[in-house]
Structure 1
Amino acid sequence: MEGDADALGLLFDRHSDAVFRYCLSRTGSWHDAEELVSVTFLEAWRQRSSLTLQRDSLLPWLLGVATNAARNNARSVRRYEQFLDRLPHTQYVPDHATAAAERIDTERQVQDLLAATKALTDGERDVLLLCVMNGYSYEDTAASLGIRVGTVRSRANRAKKKLRAAAPHLLADTLENPTSLESRLS
């Protein structure tokens, strides 16, 4: 049992930054990204006895868990907001007093990018976020999402074309140099 905790600690040390950047690029919220990282590694702990390596790394599996956790979180938030809309009181306003200026700027940049991805399908958005904005290989993305590499390539190309047409000012630097966004998110 103690060895399992040590192994999870090493797994967290090795991959938490990558999972965090991916979650931040999905949600646009520093806080939500931290929560999704927690959920992802809690799931790794829960399934520790049945985990198997894919291509010498658990990162693809972790990113797949993070993808599902982000979708579940978005669905929960949507339901909660729908519930609040039915109540006869004012709309919830988040407290931004504790957020640092740099985090707010980064969140705004990611939110602008997420707004530009509204026209994409879920599959195109997942591939874009993993490959283009977070710099993962097509193979790792395919393993994370449980799809073929050819599907990843076609979704990435479609997503890039749609985004270049919809928001070229947001993507000019990111699509040509994905690490620029990665460095802003770390």
Structure 2
Amino acid sequence: MRARLRAGDPEAFRQLFQELGQAIYAHAYRATGDWSAAEDAVSLTFLEVWRLRERLEEGDESVRPWVYGIATNVLRNRGRSARKHQLTLARFPAPDTVPDFSDEVAERIDDGERLAAARAAVAKLRRGDRDVFMLCVWSDLSYTAASEALGIPVGTVRSRLSRARTRLLKLTEQELRRAKKRVEPPADFRQIQGDRTPAVRSIQEKAR
């Protein structure tokens, strides 16, 4: 596979995309939380795979870590671009309020609340810890494969993953508590006095 990719064999590239395209998409979605952004990341990743194919070293090992390494760099660059974009938008007047379609997206994934909390927690990790966690835990790469993908020693992968797991236990629970507070209805309900039909109604209902 390595030799065929280095030689620019289109069939080898198609085979590689069939084997890893969906996995890279899942990896990118977990990183971005956005289906469209994940699709863009997959496209950019495999464009880079094709562009950099001649740099792929010869050997019999799987090319999976190499592809994940490229995907990691694509996501890093996307993150930097997104931050620059947000800074640019911040200089303009606030736009009119538009409908929020986040609920529709959440319905398309299993346990969306926990995933959102996990993503928010992962985003607070150091970049190196975050990359290791995403590759080893979310994308199921071995320590050795993650080491190859990121260009760091295996021992560093192990220590970063241990640190990330410890910190994420606390961060994820904090994010879940914040999310719960945002969606809980107010507890201030009381009976309306003077109503002919005794009933317990909320203040909001009285206003209507």
TM-score (norm 1): 0.78
Contact 1:138 1:153 in 2 (8 A): yes
Deviation at 1:102, TM superposition (A): 3.9
Structure 1 residues 144-169: Cα deviation after superposition (integer angstroms, max 9, x where no partner): 11101110000010011111223248
Structure 1 residues 126-154: Cα deviation after superposition (integer angstroms, max 9, x where no partner): 11111122221111111111101110000
Structure 1 residues 26-45: Cα deviation after superposition (integer angstroms, max 9, x where no partner): 11112111111110000111
Aligned equivalent of 2:129, options 119, 124, 129: 124
Aligned equivalent of 2:34, options 29, 54, 60: 29
Contact 2:27 2:134 in 1 (8 A): yes
Greater RCO, CA 8 A, separation 6+: 1
Q: CA RMSD in A?
A: 3.0
Q: Give the gaps of 5 or more residues in structure 2.
A: 177-208
Structure 1 residues 60-92: Cα deviation after superposition (integer angstroms, max 9, x where no partner): 111111111111111111111111110124178
Q: 1-side partners of 2:88 and 2:74: how far apart?
A: 21
Q: Give the gaps of 5 or more residues in structure 1.
A: 172-186
Alignment of 1:83-162 (within 5 A): 83-90=88-95, 96=101, 102-103=107-108, 109-162=114-167
Q: 2-side partners of 1:167 and 1:89: how far apart?
A: 31
TM-score (norm 2): 0.71
Instruction: Give, as a single letter, the amino acid of the residue that structure 2 aligns with 1:81.
Output: Q
Contact 2:106 2:112 in 1 (8 A): no
Inter-CA distance 154–41: structure 2 relative to 1 (3 Å threshold):
same
Contact 1:54 1:61 in 2 (8 A): no
**Count of residues paired in the alignment:** 170
Greater gyration radius: 2
- Seq. identity, %: 41
Structure 1 residues 2-59: Cα deviation after superposition (integer angstroms, max 9, x where no partner): 9621111011011112211211121111211111111000011112233235662111
Contact 2:117 2:172 in 1 (8 A): no
Q: 2-side partners of 1:76 and 1:92: how far apart?
A: 24
Name the structure where helix makes up a greater proportion of residues: 1
What does residue 71 of structure 2 align with? 66
Contact 2:120 2:175 in 1 (8 A): no
